[in-house]
Structure 1
Amino acid sequence: MSLQLSNHQSMPVAPPNPYGFRDPRSVPGKPRGVDILIAAQERQLKRSRYERWMQCAANRLQMTVLNSLRTIRNLMWRFTLGRWFWIKACHGTDTIEVETMRMISSRTRIPVPHVWTHFVWSGRRYIIMSRIRGVALSTVWYTAGPQFREVIVEQLASCFDELRTLRTPYGRRICSVLGGPVRDFRLRYQHVGPFEDEDDFNLRGARFYNDFESLPAECMPQLVAAAHSIKHGIVFTHGDLATRNVMVDGTKVTAILDWECAAWFPEHWEYCKSIFATPSWVREDWLPWLRRMLPVYDLEAEADKMLVQGLWEPFL
């Protein structure tokens, strides 16, 4: 290291740039950014052990104070306005989730939070909604007995049966409640679509523009072709059915949350997406009960599993 430092000191360097660090191209023959790293090492070596200890202690104190202030802020909110309101920060600025919850509230008996207002700030939409009594189903489901699960599953089955009775005004089109693009983290991180029909959805959405012939062998192209040749009805789909998105108070379902991915999708998509959205280490426990909540589409789910394993990348 001492040799590197002495060589570096003898080399001509560019003057500091406006941002306060040296030009990363200023060390001939070195990768970009090496001189910045060396300068940081130089500063660290010049500090005494006491100075380094003090810096570490100051950093720890800063983090402790910030965490304490956040805790105080959260408690103040929880025991004042937070007793009645919940604020959700959305991924984008669109109003799809707002309009979806309002549509579900007005056209069904499915329990959803009441939307009071919404606004855009710093590039994100914030929704102020009613706080739902109870706890997330995920906090009690995995330790609950079969009798509790029976009661909860019966209520969820009734909710999703009612959801699937809604009729789309857009024909065979696969789109949001507003008729435009959808947000679905199985397809893309950003909005995609709308899709003109199920074939278009399978090609541009589920298969990421891959024809059957171009699918890798691990995707089992014959299985995918068989599943994608089936024509399904278009139904309204929550798109993220998981225990974390269901609120319960005792044995009563008090709300279904997180309608960000809801849209008009082929009827098998709810079943496939719930399997996709459930962590693998609890999937075997959840799947038998999911099959009692929703119509079962085993062929389509297996094909989608192959596509996820072979093609899907997080935040694509």
Structure 2
Amino acid sequence: MTSRLHQLSNIDEIINKDEKILHQLFDRTVTGVGENLVVKSGKLRSHEAQTLRFIAENTTIPVPNVYDVRWEDGQVVAITMDYMSGKRLDEAWETLDPDQKLSIAKELHSYINQLRDLKGDYIGAVNPGKTVTGRAVAVEGGPFDTEQQFNESLLGRIIRQAPDLLRHYARHALSENHEIVFTHSDIAPEKFLVEGGRIAAILDWEDAGWYPEYWEYTRAFRYFRPMPDWPEYLTHILPPKFEREYIGMAFLNRISY
């Protein structure tokens, strides 16, 4: 504990040292702090640390413990958390045999089921926070008390040039009778760390929250290309379901920004 407190006191100095950068994408950086901690910094969503704590308290899903959240001008700019060892699944995939791949898929299925057992009464991030949608860029909205309100938000993303006929079909592609469950919202191979043939961590919960039960499926099925046989194992993680919703969202995404 003493070493962690010492490391926390030097975060400002450490996050400015390029040689300790572990990952960098757009305006977010993950920097190593000693051997046990990392700092995720940049323009972060305010609910990400709260989500990690919520998952740790309500599931057995391996996620990093959060030790510190730093705010500036009402914006979260840094989260200090555990360093999670392991190799990204997309990078380890070629070294795994079919049995190992299937075992990992089944383990992920059990973790996703834990999320789906958590039921919500609004649509949005924890505590509560905004939804994150959008195809090419992230679009924040809500939180929403009903699925009808959430659907109106989705329909509001249709590009202005779309003819009324397509707007008509898009409106009828959405329904309002789904359970609201906790959702990672970005299930993809690079979000998983593996070690010893098992899942060591599930990362990147910034888009997570309470969403209609089909949402995890339509978001996960965007990632068919990272590995040639990934779709085969994705069907074990999220067995085919919500076909109508998938087709409807695919259509809506074609005419939305």
TM-score, scaled relative to structure 2:
0.77
SS in 1 for 2:60: coil
Q: Which residue of 2 aligns with 1:297?
A: 242
Q: Which residue of 2 aligns with 1:252?
A: 198
Distance in 2, Cα, partners of 1:260 & 1:174:
15
Q: Which residue of 2 aligns with 1:115?
A: 66
Distance in 1, Cα, partners of 2:102 & 2:217:
19
Distance in 1, Cα, partners of 2:181 & 2:243:
18
Matched, 1:161 2:161: no
If each structure's helix is expressed as a fraction of its own residues, which one has the higher value? 1
How far is the alpha carbon of 1:89 from its aligned partner? 2.1
CA deviation vs aligned residue, 1:60-112 (integer Å, no higher than 9, x gap): xxxxxxxxx844x559xx9x834211111253362x01111101101111111
Higher relative contact order (CA 8 A, sep 6+): 2
Change over 3 Å in CA distance of 1:230–1:84 after alignment to 2: same
Matched, 1:195 2:154: no
Distance in 1, Cα, partners of 2:43 & 2:230:
27
**Which amino acid is the alignment partner of residue 287 of structure 1?**
P
Change over 3 Å in CA distance of 1:307–1:246 after alignment to 2: same
Aligned CA-pair RMSD: 3.0
Retained in 2: the 8 A contact 1:117–1:128? yes
Q: Which residue of 2 aligns with 1:87?
A: 39
SS in 1 for 2:140: coil
SS in 2 for 1:248: strand
Counting only pairs closer than 5 Å after superposition, residues 121-160 of structure 1 correspond to structure 2 as 124-142=76-94, 144-160=96-112
Q: Which residue of 2 aligns with 1:242?
A: 188
Distance in 2, Cα, partners of 1:283 & 1:307:
26
CA deviation vs aligned residue, 1:16-45 (integer Å, no higher than 9, x gap): xxxxxxxxxxxxxxxxxxxxxxxxxxxxxx
Q: Which has the larger radius of gyration?
A: 1
Retained in 2: the 8 A contact 1:206–1:304? no
Q: Which residue of 1 aligns with 2:220?
A: 274
Distance in 2, Cα, partners of 1:142 & 1:311:
35
CA deviation vs aligned residue, 1:226-266 (integer Å, no higher than 9, x gap): 54136211000001110111111021101110110011000
CA deviation vs aligned residue, 1:174-220 (integer Å, no higher than 9, x gap): 1211123123344962421112311221221255268xx95564x8x
Matched, 1:176 2:125: yes
Corresponding pairs, count: 230
Distance in 1, Cα, partners of 2:92 & 2:221:
19
TM-score, scaled relative to structure 1:
0.64
Change over 3 Å in CA distance of 1:238–1:74 after alignment to 2: closer
Percent identity at matched positions?
A: 30
